[in-house]
Amino acid sequence: MAEVAIVGGGPAGLMAAEVLAGAGHRVTVHDAMPSPARKLLLAGKSGLNLTHSEPWQRFIGRYRPNEPMLLAALDAFRPADLVEWADGLGADCFVGSSGRVFPKAMKASPLLRAWLRRLADLGVTIRTRHRWTGFSDHGLTFETPDGRLDIAPDAALLALGGASWPRLGSDAAWVAPLRAIGNDVADLKPANAGFDVDWDAAFVERFAGAPVKSVTATSDAGTTPGEFVISRHGIEGSLVYLHAAALRDRLDAEGKADFLLDLVPGRSVERLARDLGRQDAKASFSNRLRKGAGLDGVKAALARLFMSEDERRHPDRLAARLKALPIPLRRMRPIAEAISSAGGIRFASLDDRFMLKARPGTFVAGEMLDWEAPTGGYLLTGCFATGRAAARGLMDWLAER
Ligand SMILES: Cc1cc2nc3c(=O)[nH]c(=O)nc-3n(C[C@H](O)[C@H](O)[C@H](O)COP(=O)(O)OP(=O)(O)OC[C@H]3O[C@@H](n4cnc5c(N)ncnc54)[C@H](O)[C@@H]3O)c2cc1C
């Protein structure tokens, strides 16, 4: 049996540890932080969304790019497998009204505790405060409380995460050493983050924190229903995150992008124009919006902010605007605030076993790979699935030797 070092004790690294130790290998997980899986624990604070129950074709359509290796890893560990695995740790998963899957306790701590117990029973050693600093000729080097440590395992698996929430441990310091040995690493960018909008002061004072419900949004990613939240800086929340990658790419390419909203998704533009046309032209704009379109509160305030005088006055133009209201975005929020990051090690730098072509015997998994997905459980599913796939790739490689 081989000596395997896993670097990074998040969902991807711990899943790889389970597979490898389950097959009898001697596994040590090294993590920079005083305890493992801090981002998983934080993810559980707002309800740990483990995966999604939607049909398989729609599910895999959420991942960008449409990378065959990623899809194969997901296929080998589908949402139903993930639920079975989590239930085996006592999660007692349920499907929420949106189709998202959560453990009954909603948080991550009971699941993580049970998982760490299982790993200990399998003989996995976890070394905390071990910061990986790079490669040596034959192995890996770490900074530890006792000074520099050099190890030369039979194989290594890196699962160092992306670049969001760096204070939880994943600070993407791995990018430089991986590029230095010839890997192609796409720049890390925020994913699943909000955007800055130039609100006026009175609007933000009144509506920061307000949810905007039952709207549809359109971007290069398509048209989707949902809700989002007004923040001090701009906009955030699930509907924004669904479109965030497309909006970010457009901002990067063209320097501007609009979050296009339909505030009255239940009515056609013709019907809405008719309903608005029936209102007394002398009534206030607020009354016409409320009675003719059923809009008040934050939705009415949004309409008022991004509409010209001319559009307000003419029912046809007003209806068209309410069905396609562009919120101009200034920029994406910083990566440190994002839920996840895009970019990372390109699949072209890996062989089909998730092994670095530039460093035989070193495998990679999780968010440090170049893929992204919206919130909805897709991120954790992707990390668990690639953790398993890389562990299996590592075992195939060992077996060949
Ligand atoms: C607020 C928030 C909520 C979220 N909610 C959800 C959710 O509900 N559902 C979902 O699917 N996803 C969610 N996510 C995303 C999900 O948590 C991440 O995608 C996932 O944790 C990434 O797993 P990973 O194992 O690849 O990396 P990480 O979880 O980031 O783990 C990487 C590990 O590597 C360690 N490490 C990093 N650098 C070094 C180094 N140099 N040396 C040693 N160790 C190092 C880190 O300390 C860390 O423990 C959320 C994220 C955030 C921030």
Residue from 6, 339, 341, 354 to probe ligand 1 pocket by mutation (most atoms less than 8 Å from CB) = 339
The confidence score (pLDDT) of residue 245 equals 96
pTM of the model: 0.95
Ligand 1 atom with least separation from CA of 387 = 25
Ligand 1 atom with least separation from CA of 33 = 47
The confidence score (pLDDT) of residue 301 equals 97
Pocket residues: Cβ below 6 A from ligand 1: 7-13, 30-33, 36-40, 42-43, 48-49, 131-132, 159-161, 164-165, 169-170, 173-174, 339-340, 366-367, 377, 379-380, 383
The confidence score (pLDDT) of residue 284 equals 94
Residue from 53, 380, 386, 388 to probe ligand 1 pocket by mutation (most atoms less than 8 Å from CB) = 380
Q: Whose CA is nearest to atom 20 of ligand 1?
A: 380
Q: Nearest 5°: CA angle at 342, between 341 and 345?
A: 110
**Tokens (6 digits) for 47:** 């309800």
The DSSP call for residue 298 is H
Do the beta carbons of residue 142 and residue 8 sit within 8 Å? no
**Separation of CA 382 and ligand 1 centre (Å):** 12
**Residue type for position 3:** E
> Helices marked H in 23-145 — which ranges?
38-43, 56-60, 68-76, 79-88, 109-121
The confidence score (pLDDT) of residue 138 equals 87
Q: Report the alpha-carbon distance of residue 72 to residue 80 in Å, rounded.
A: 15
**Separation of CA 42 and ligand 1 centre (Å):** 9
Per-residue pLDDT of the chain (401 residues; tens, 9 = 90+): 999 999 999 999 999 999 999 999 999 999 999 999 999 999 999 899 999 999 999 999 999 998 999 999 999 999 999 999 999 999 999 999 889 999 999 999 999 999 999 999 999 999 999 999 999 998 999 999 999 999 999 999 999 999 999 999 999 999 999 999 999 999 999 999 999 999 999 999 999 999 999 999 999 999 999 999 999 999 999 999 999 999 999 999 999 999 999 999 999 999 999 999 999 989 999 999 999 999 999 999 999 999 999 999 999 999 999 999 999 999 999 999 999 999 999 999 999 999 999 999 999 999 999 999 999 999 999 999 999 999 999 999 999 98
The confidence score (pLDDT) of residue 168 equals 96
Closest CA to 381 of 360, 365, 399, 397: 365
**Separation of CA 66 and ligand 1 centre (Å):** 22
Report the 10 Å Cβ neighbour count for 145.
Answer: 7
**Tokens (6 digits) for 368:** 């440090």
**Separation of CA 38 and ligand 1 centre (Å):** 7
**Separation of CA 183 and ligand 1 centre (Å):** 22
Q: Whose CA is nearest to atom 34 of ligand 1?
A: 8
**Tokens (6 digits) for 50:** 């483990």
Spell out where 90-154 has E strands.
94-95, 100-102, 125-127, 131-135, 140-144, 147-151
Q: Whose CA is nearest to atom 8 of ligand 1?
A: 49
**Residue type for position 177:** P
What DSSP element (H or E) covers 95? strand 94-95
Ligand 1 atom with least separation from CA of 172 = 38
CA dihedral 389, 390, 393, 395 (to 10 degrees): -110
Closest CA to 170 of 379, 3, 362, 378: 379
Closest CA to 17 of 33, 36, 35, 42: 36
Residue from 7, 135, 170 to probe ligand 1 pocket by mutation (most atoms less than 8 Å from CB) = 170
Question: SS3 of 159, please?
Answer: coil
Report the 10 Å Cβ neighbour count for 126.
Answer: 21
Ligand 1 atom with least separation from CA of 142 = 42
Report the 10 Å Cβ neighbour count for 44.
Answer: 22
